[in-house]
Structures are given as structure tokens and as C-alpha cells.
Structure 1
Amino acid sequence: MTVRAAIAEAAARIQSETPRLDAELLMAAALGVSRETMLLSRLGDPVPEGFAALVARRLAHEPVAYITGSRGFWTVEVQVGPGVLVPRADSETLIEAAVAHFAGTAGPTRVLDLGTGPGTLLLAALAEWPEAHGLGIDASEKALDYAQDNALDLGMEDRARFRLGDWANGLDGQFDLILCNPPYIGTQEELGPEVRDHEPAAALFAGPDGLEDYRRIVPELRRLLVPGGIAVLEIGWTQGEAVSALVREAGLAPAIRQDLGGRDRAVIAS
């Protein structure tokens, strides 16, 4: 069987929102090349031996990023694996909001990423603004190990620092840009097996209404922002008004930004 035929056969079996893309990414990983290279020059090749095992893992609902070991986000590629949250395209809305805010300026010089995970938002921001430096905070040592490795892989080890911490507790200094993708799923919400059975619950759930971590993070933002700075918080699509109310209570001005699907995805606090 050729690579082309095996991709089509796997895509017909995979149950996800993007079965064809999943199959292509798994095949590229099995071949040890980029997806682009595979599509341009390897579709007529014989199927590599390891492909069937990767497809079997996907059929068991393991995230593609865990199987391949990486995920593209904004302009960077980050390494991920079990124990860390898989970056999602919707989270790029936070970087888009920051780019829009700093358009026409030199950009932020100090960036804070609260709940940095594998460093996704911080490293994407530092790639956007090469003169900036940043700090990533996370409560998971495993996530910080990934973040350190990703900074090294991207040549940002001199600009990105990472620290074990509990949100902004005990954090000093001020920042031009604060990014945060906290847990925001209510504990009673149902999740599909891909997320429920594989990704870390601590990075997903935040109390019955999904707002517990916002209640801890938002009151700290004003003291951490320089004048003219912004904090951009990812939210669930129904949480815009509730998080905006918390931002107003903290003495900041909220604005809601939508993702490409037209759903509320981020609250900007300034």
C-alpha cells in the first residue's frame, strides 16, 4: 500500500473533527519528515512499518500531539506529551489580541505567562517580539521541563525564564503584557475521551462554574501591569460577561475578543 492510500484508509477510521489531517500528521511522523515534505514528495512511497501503531493509538483517542510529540502554534513548534495541555488553535486569539494592541509600537519588552504549560503562549510572544524577555509560571514541574526544552529548541533560552509557582502568588515586578490560559471548565461539564482520559485535569477544571482560577488571577493583574499594558485571558465561550465583571471589580477595563469561529475567546484587561 502507498502512503497516499494508507492515509485515506486511516482517515476513514479515525473519529475526530479532523480525520484527514490527523492521518497526515501521523504518517509524516512515521516517515520522519514534515507534513509538507510528505505531501509534496512522499505520497507514492510504501507505508512505513510504524504507521499502523500510531493509528491504533489515535483510535484509542490519544491526542495527535502526544503521539507525534509536538504541536504547531502561531509561528513556533512546541514539544508536548502526557502531563501537559495540548496547545489549541483557539488560543492563538490571545496572541492576535496582543499583536493588535501593540501595533505601531516597539511592542512589549517584558511578558508574563501565567500557567505557561509547555511555554506555548510565552514562546509565541517572544517569537513575535524578538527584543522582548519573558517569565513563565506554572504549578507543574513536568510542564516546566517541557517549557525549558522548548525555549532551548527555539533558541530563546536567554530570553525566557520559567518558575514553579501558584499563579501570581509572591510574584514581583511589572509587565507590559500578561498572557494566561487558565483552567476554565466546570467540574460538571462532560468532555470527550481524548481530553478527559489523556490531558491533565489540573489544567482543565476550575470548580463548579469554571471561574475559580479567574477569581484568584484577576485581582493580581493591576499591580503586575505597567501603565498602558494589557492582560489577555483565555475564556470559555460563555464566560465573557462573568470574567469581564471580575476585571471591572479589579479596577481594570475589559474588552472581549472573539476567535475565528465567532465565539468569545479572550478577555483583554487594560
Structure 2
Amino acid sequence: MSHATTLRQLIQQASALLKQVNCDAPMRDAELLLMSVWGMRRTDLIIRASEPVPEAIETVFNALIQRRMQREPLAYILGEKEFWSRPFHVTSDVLVPRPETEHLIEAVLEYFPDQQGAYNFCDIGTGSGIIAVTLACEYPKAHIIATDISESALRVATGNAIQHKVEDRITFKQGDMLQAIEQRNAHFDAIISNPPYVAEHEMASLEQELSYEPRNALTDESDGLTFLTDILNTGPEFLQTSGMIMLETGPCGLPDTPETLIFEKVIHDLAGHARGGIYRCV
């Protein structure tokens, strides 16, 4: 691509390259990458479409397109992903936030409609902190404990809590699932989790982008039900009377409901697929 390349030409050429490697939204990806490199808004892409692209901008942009052609997730290249209409910093230490996880936030808002309530929530396997931070933003008097086994993930989550000015109401703890929490101090209104639920046999068929994401945040290296079962079996000990457990899942489905819980309902995504379950303490 020569120095005389216009903005429109650069986008078209980059989009064609991304299409060749089967990126889902090649034009969108090319536009977002150029907006990031050049510090533009979307309207600038239209207004300045015939403008020549500075050589330095083009060089950096082309390097990012090469990364995307390797199917590196766009969120990792940009360093950011939107969740619940807020920007979150992401790195390859954490999963890329996905819209399906927003159904967990919807479930909390449905069962805890008083957003001024001083609730105690627990986010297990917080990753980038999207659930914990979003709940802290939506419930300004709530306190959240968020756990993750990964120290590097907790650093990302802490940064996001600071960015959204809720770090004073989130306690981050390192450890495996609920083992990070002292039971005698925990009486949660709800435990919310998007745990690793991809079955080991499903991993090979996943889209290429997922090979960049932390494997231990995706799969239990078994049938996908290991961590879901663990949370359902141990979670009730950490709940208030009538406390809730809200879980995200995938094709593996949901484990059998233990006797300590009442199954409330299935969470469905917009396509009608089962994507989670809601439980209440007996």
C-alpha cells in the first residue's frame, strides 16, 4: 500500500485481506483498527474518506491488520471490549467479554430490582472483572467479592474497577472457585459465575480466535460440568437464606440440581439457546 493511499482505499484493501482469512466482520474490524490507530470517531471515516493516510499511521495499521489476519481477537489488539455499554480493558490473560454474559446481569437485575439495596454479591472466576464491576456500577451500595485463580487476571480486573471508580466496593481474592473465600465471613445475596464450561472434546472445533484466549478459563478438560457442579454443591454454604446462584453455561448444559437448591429457571440467549441457570437456596 503506497503513501498515496486514501482512507477509503486503505479500509477496502484491509477488509479484503481479512475476508480472505474468513474473519467474521472484515470491514468492521478494519474500520475499528484504523479508528484506534488514528484516534478517529466513526463519522470521521465518512467525512475524511478521500483523505490520504499518513505513512506512520498506515505502517502501524498494517501491522495490526497482520495480527488480525492471524485471527488474534480484535479485543486483544485494541486492548478493549465493551460490556453492558461500558469499556473494559482486556489482555490475553483474560477471556474476551461476550454479549451472552450480559444475560447474567439481566438475571441479577430481575431478581434484585432494588438497585439501591446494600447487597453482597460474589463473582466466581471474575477474569477481566466485567460481572463484578458492572454490578458495582449498577448497584451503587452493593459490595462484591470477586475471585480468580489467576493473579494476572486479577490485575486486569482491578484496573477495570479503578477505571470505573468502584474499586472501594469490590474485594478481589486469588484462589480456586469458592476456596478463595473465608466461609464464616460470607453471607451472599447472590453468587454469579461464568466458569469454564467448554467440554474438552469441543475445544478443537472452536473458532480460531479462541486459541489465543486462556485455555483454563474456557474448559475444565472434561465434560464441561466440573466447575458448574462445584459451585452448585459448595455455593449454598456461602449464601444468605433464600440466596441465589446464577450460572452461565454452554452446550454442556447444567448439572443435576443438589438438594440444597431449588432450580428457578433456565437463562436463554436471544437465539433461544439455554445459556445458564438460576437457583435459589432452600
- Give the TM-score of the pair, scaled to structure 1: 0.89
Letter in 2 for 1:85: L
Distance of aligned partners of 1:170 and 1:148 in 2 relative to their CA distance in 1, 3 Å threshold: closer
Match of 1:200 in 2: 214
Which one of 20, 44, 66 corresponds to residue 27 of structure 2? 20
Structure 2 distance, partners of 1:250, 1:17, is 43
Instruction: Within 5 Å, give how 1:44-83 maps onto structure 2.
Output: 44-47=50-53, 48-49=57-58, 50-83=60-93
Structure 2 distance, partners of 1:224, 1:260, is 31
The Cα shift of 1:104 comes to 5.1
Structure 2 distance, partners of 1:40, 1:223, is 56
8 Å CA contact 1:102–1:108 kept in 2: the answer is no
The Cα shift of 1:225 comes to 2.1
Instruction: Within 5 Å, give how 1:4-19 maps onto structure 2.
Output: 4-14=8-18, 15-19=22-26
Which one of 106, 117, 129 corresponds to residue 96 of structure 1? 106
8 Å CA contact 2:89–2:160 kept in 1: the answer is yes
Match of 1:212 in 2: 226
Q: Which moved more, 1:45-54 or 1:154-163?
A: 45-54
8 Å CA contact 2:232–2:245 kept in 1: the answer is no
Q: For residues 160-195 of structure 1, what are the alpha-carbon distances to aligned partners after superposition, in whole Å with 9 as ceiling and x for unaligned? A: 121101100152211122210110111111222211
Match of 1:147 in 2: 157
Structure 1 distance, partners of 2:242, 2:118, is 10
The Cα shift of 1:252 comes to 2.8
8 Å CA contact 2:126–2:132 kept in 1: the answer is yes
Question: How many equivalent residue pairs?
Answer: 264
Q: Which moved more, 1:92-101 or 1:12-21?
A: 12-21
Distance of aligned partners of 1:182 and 1:29 in 2 relative to their CA distance in 1, 3 Å threshold: same
Distance of aligned partners of 1:39 and 1:188 in 2 relative to their CA distance in 1, 3 Å threshold: same
Structure 2 distance, partners of 1:87, 1:93, is 12
Distance of aligned partners of 1:45 and 1:225 in 2 relative to their CA distance in 1, 3 Å threshold: farther
The Cα shift of 1:39 comes to 4.7
Give % identity. 37
Q: Unmatched 5+ residue regions in structure 2?
A: none
Structure 1 distance, partners of 2:165, 2:27, is 32
The Cα shift of 1:79 comes to 0.8
Highest Rg: 1 or 2? 2
Which one of 254, 262, 266 corresponds to residue 256 of structure 1? 266
Structure 1 distance, partners of 2:43, 2:139, is 29
Structure 2 distance, partners of 1:88, 1:236, is 13
Structure 2 distance, partners of 1:41, 1:161, is 45
8 Å CA contact 1:76–1:123 kept in 2: the answer is no
**Aligned alpha-carbon RMSD (Å):** 2.0
Match of 1:183 in 2: 196
8 Å CA contact 2:33–2:64 kept in 1: the answer is yes
Q: For residues 83-131 of structure 1, what are the alpha-carbon distances to aligned partners after superposition, in whole Å with 9 as ceiling and x for unaligned? A: 2111111111111111122225644621211000111111111111122
Distance of aligned partners of 1:107 and 1:43 in 2 relative to their CA distance in 1, 3 Å threshold: farther
Structure 1 distance, partners of 2:207, 2:43, is 32
The Cα shift of 1:75 comes to 2.8
The Cα shift of 1:42 comes to 4.9
Q: Which moved more, 1:106-115 or 1:186-195?
A: 106-115
Structure 1 distance, partners of 2:42, 2:192, is 31
Structure 2 distance, partners of 1:69, 1:59, is 17
Distance of aligned partners of 1:59 and 1:223 in 2 relative to their CA distance in 1, 3 Å threshold: same
- Give the TM-score of the pair, scaled to structure 2: 0.86
Structure 2 distance, partners of 1:177, 1:41, is 48
The Cα shift of 1:41 comes to 5.2
8 Å CA contact 1:183–1:213 kept in 2: the answer is yes
The Cα shift of 1:217 comes to 1.4
Q: Unmatched 5+ residue regions in structure 1?
A: none
The Cα shift of 1:206 comes to 1.2
Distance of aligned partners of 1:52 and 1:228 in 2 relative to their CA distance in 1, 3 Å threshold: same
SS in 2 for 1:210: coil
